[in-house]
Amino acid sequence: MERSKLLVMLGEVMESEIRSQPAILAQNSGRYLSELEKCIGGRQFDMVLLAGRGSSDNASLFARYLIEVHLGIPVSLSAPSVITRYGSQIKYRNCLAVGISQSGEAPDVAEVMEHLRSTGHVTLGITNTPGSRLTRSAEFSLLLDAGPEKAVAATKTYTATLLAVYQMVRALSGKLPEPTLPDDAWVESSQTAAESSLGAVIRSSILFALARGFSFCTAQETALKLMECALLPCKSYSTADFEHGPKALAGPGSAALVFGNEPDGLSDQGCLVERAPDFGKMAASPIAEIIFGQWVALLAARARGLNPDDPRFLTKVTRTL
């Protein structure tokens, strides 16, 4: 078999799931909002607790910015081991606890929901898997209905989760517009941009993913995808934190995938800067802009002869306590 055809076969499931995202998002957007309005709409909370691991934790970061900016409610990103390992009895006040797990089988996330529910707080599980532990642990559940995700790396369930938390904030009376969602043309243009960035990514010995604000989750998720799919060590930073030390590493031989504004003087230091396509300055933009990061990870894996559908040492369902 020709090498070019063999490389295309590597990650063919992941590619299919990347391409499926516009249809899945368009199909579910309105349902997410209506179902969330039924279970939590009109309620008032003093704080929100978000629990997730991996890609779900990155989606939680997006939710944090949305909630604090558009609802003015303080948010805590849960450290599940505080409850699951140390048994601490934290004094939450009138809390909405949101557990996020694509598989719904993350035991630590489920235990956080069980604990908060048992102490009288409202709990919501966001998952792609009906009948999973998370749906039983939380009082309310939102099913992503993205279809089975067969590749180990989360793609369509990640963007569906971003859309779900965006609609959650709208259901809680956040002043957010109807989200502008990526279409097939955006997926194609993101692929083209990723192909142009690929050389810098795979040649560099030091690799960064940088963003700020709503898009910080995109930098986090892009770095995760590059590590799990292409085995490329990549460190994500807020562009503000990047200035406080890590920027010193960004010289010749380094590259940075930048979502949003490029840090001042970064290119002048010798760092290869690859700018992600701009979807616009909207709160919902991370739903679309991560597609570029997904393509970069997939194409980098293929270039290195790796199969991102089945990355080494990883499984689809990760169980941690």
Q: What is the pLDDT of residues 27-56, one digit of tens each?
A: 999 999 999 999 999 899 999 999 999 999
Q: What is the pLDDT of residues 280-321, one digit of tens each?
A: 989 999 999 999 999 999 999 999 999 999 876 656 555 555
C-alpha dihedral over 214, 178, 46, 63, to 10 degrees? -30
With beta carbons less than 8 A apart as the criterion, state whether 92 and 64 touch.
no
Distances (CA, A) of 298 to 74, 225, 227, 313: 36, 8, 11, 17
Calpha distance 40→142 (Å, rounded): 11
pTM: 0.94
Structure tokens given for 19: 């391409």
d(C-alpha 151, C-alpha 256), whole Å:
26
230 phi/psi in degrees, rounded to 5: -105, 0
Q: What's the confidence (pLDDT) of residue 27?
A: 98
Closest CA to 216 of 60, 112, 94: 60
Residues of the chain with pLDDT under 70: 1-8, 312-321
**CA neighbor of 62 nearest in space, from 148, 141, 169:** 169
Rg for the chain (alpha carbons), in Å? Answer: 19
Question: What's the pLDDT score for residue 1?
Answer: 45
Closest to 240 measured CA to CA, from 282, 205, 212: 212
Domains in the chain, please, with CATH?
12-171 (3.40.50.10490), 181-303 (3.40.50.10490)
- The SS3 assignment for 176 reads coil
The amino acid sitting at 111 is E
CA distance 62 to 57: 9
